[in-house]
Amino acid sequence: MRRLRIAALLAAGGFVVAGCSAPGPEEVTFFADGNTVNVTPLASCDIKSAQCTTRPDAAGKLRIRPGKPVQISVPSAIAETPWKVTVQYVNGKGEPQELKQDIITSLDRFAYTVTTPRPDDQILVVEVAQASVISQTGRPEDAEAVTTAIWSLQVEPPAA
């Protein structure tokens, strides 16, 4: 029942950066095309103190060839909460494609693999957003999902 409520909340409202809760120094690992990068959050917030921290230079960077998947590994502090993967990519002609998004609400998933529909598609950005479900009144029916941290992988074009 709890998972259904969380899934419904996330599907209905998406994630909104607000209110915030700090994930601490947690890192997300991105692996693609034979390379790995550990990334700290671009932004993280603490629900209790309402304090947010931003680190614009925290985005990870990897060189990835078209059609190659990106594997994501998250620590338990993220896996045990709802989290979302958002992917921006272009087709073989360089035309932007619709964002791909997947919301993970199993509360026990530590990995995710990003793929593109066609072998000549080029991934540009992969983001992981962690959510917390909060209620201002303490009643479950008033609960809403808020984004509490964001990790980002910026893809560098392959060497010519």
Cα angle at 28 between 25 and 29, to 5 degrees?
135
State the sign of the Cα–Cα–Cα–Cα dihedral 66, 68, 69, 70: negative
Which regions in the chain score pLDDT beneath 50?
1-24
pLDDT score at 47: 76
pLDDT score at 34: 95
Spatial separation of the C-alpha atoms in residues 155 and 132, rounded to whole Å? 28
pLDDT score at 35: 96
Spatial separation of the C-alpha atoms in residues 40 and 109, rounded to whole Å? 19
pLDDT score at 5: 35
- DSSP label at 4? H
pLDDT score at 158: 79
Half-sphere exposure in the Cβ direction for 134 (13 Å, CA): 17
3-state class (DSSP) for residue 57: helix
Which residues make beta-bridge pairs with 17?
147
Residue 11 main-chain phi, psi, to 5 deg: -65, -40
pLDDT score at 38: 97
- Rg value, the chain, Cα: 16
